[in-house]
Amino acid sequence: MTTTLTTEGAGAEEAQARRLDRADPGSRDLFHIPPADGGRYPEAAYFAGNSLGLQPRATRGELLDDLDDWARLGVEGHLEGRRPWLPYHELLTGPAARLVGALPAETVVMNSLTVNLHLLMVSFYRPRGARVRIVVEDSAFPSDSYAVRSQARFHGLDPDQAVVRLRPRPGEDVLRAEDVTGFLADQGHTVALVMLGGVNYLTGQFMDIPAITAAGRAAGAVVGWDLAHAVGNVPLRLHDWGVDFAAWCSYKYLNSGPGALAGAYVHERHLGDRGIPRFEGWWSTEPATRFLMDPVSRPPATADAWQISNPPIFSMAPVRTSLDLFDKAGMDTLRERSLRLTGHLETLLGRITPTTRPVTAITPRDPRQRGCQLSLRVAGASEIARRLRHRHGVIADVREPDVIRLAPVPLYSTYHDCWRAADALAREVAEDA
């Protein structure tokens, strides 16, 4: 027997989704929506934007404009291009700062996420005496775990002793903010750095950034955040919250393409502090003196001082295009639609009849404690996700051994996508009953 989502039947649920899409449309027409299963489905129900966002339609043309300037101008494109390359990275600074709630001087787009985290930890992880520990969540993305462990080793410390991995309470899936702040109140005198994920990649939990930041700084620690799953997903106020530093990628919710350039933030209280250690290169010095070719850097009192190399123009172009979309849509407006869309998907998933293969949500139910991602624990997650794609045109994301992640992105996902995903999942788990 096939399980349906409600006693009204799938047809009524689908009709409701269509009505909601007419009343609450997103900006789907601004994106390329890929087909699924070799074109059997003209448009996929795409829920993997937390892994790789979709391509904005404007990206190709604007990138080609920059390529044409190279063909037309050669080296003169640095000063004479339609968007001159020499100050090109400055085009990204303002919109990136607005997106994370920072001052332009605090923000720079450069490198990749883990490279930025390492460059920032050179400055802000400075173990002294008993204050040597780095606090992360136990479910931190592996790259973050590797980064902090290698930083501890670089300072001659045993990473098994220096890195503290905070775990949820027994029987729970997410780390409570009060357990983090409680640890910092009790053990903060041993902590040099707190570095957590703003939105956890596995569970989708939106951490209480202001409360944890305040607790960490009150304990005398530096507080940094990995915002890979937070930027473009939830509203951020990094400057007002007093965050010391942060870094993020731009290929997930920021839709800038695979391996796209990342961003970095440093609070203004640290800018211009010549006592902060920092790796430097040609782009770390004042623009006005860069071409004097002096052997000693003169870093500006901005986040640009953490740059090292000449910005890659053709990698910056898609980031600039995407940031323009966020500027026009507004993060607060996107968050409001995200709450409605994710709430609708949650309701549909909650109506799946229990089977011998139960589906359990591990994302917080409180909308204030999550972004748009809903994580589901189900046995055989990889096989279920394969069936969702090939039988139903639903593209989801899997984290082994048993978690399917569904991210209805407010820019391009629809209520009908949510219906397709929930209906397909109900049918697949029922088939195994």
Q: Tokens for 389, please give them.
A: 């794609």
Residue 190 is assigned to a ligand binding site: no
Residue 419 is assigned to a ligand binding site: no
Three-point CA angle 123, 235, 176, nearest 5°: 75
Residue 291 is assigned to a ligand binding site: no
Helix (H) or strand (E) run with residue 196 in it: strand 191-197
Q: Are 2 and 430 in contact (CB under 8 A)?
A: yes
Q: How far is CA 432 from CA 384, 424, 428, in A?
A: 10, 13, 7
Residue 27 is assigned to a ligand binding site: no
Residue 144 is assigned to a ligand binding site: yes
Residue 113 is assigned to a ligand binding site: yes
Q: Tokens for 145, please give them.
A: 């775990």
* Amino acid letter, residue 21: D
Query: Among candidates 375, 129, 108, which has minimal Cα distance to 248?
Result: 108
Q: How many angstroms separate the CA atoms of 302 and 272, rounded?
A: 7
Residue 282 is assigned to a ligand binding site: yes
Q: E strands of 218-341, at which residues? A: 222-226, 245-248, 262-266
Residue 229 is assigned to a ligand binding site: yes
Residue 88 is assigned to a ligand binding site: no
Q: Tokens for 245, please give them.
A: 């530093």
Peptide bond into 401 cis (omega under 30): yes
Helix (H) or strand (E) run with residue 385 in it: helix 381-392
Residue 423 is assigned to a ligand binding site: no
Query: Among candidates 368, 343, 365, 367, which has minimal Cα distance to 422?
Result: 343
Helix (H) or strand (E) run with residue 98 in it: helix 90-100
Give 45's contacts (C-beta < 8 A, 6+ positions apart).
Answer: 36, 392, 393, 394, 395, 416, 417, 418, 420, 421
Residue 141 is assigned to a ligand binding site: yes
Which strand ranges, in their side-by-side order, compose the sheet holding 374-377? 360-361, 374-377, 403-406, 397-399
Annotated binding site: 113-114, 141-144, 226, 229, 251, 282, 310
What residues are designated binding site for pyridoxal 5'-phosphate?
A: 113-114, 141-144, 226, 229, 251, 282, 310
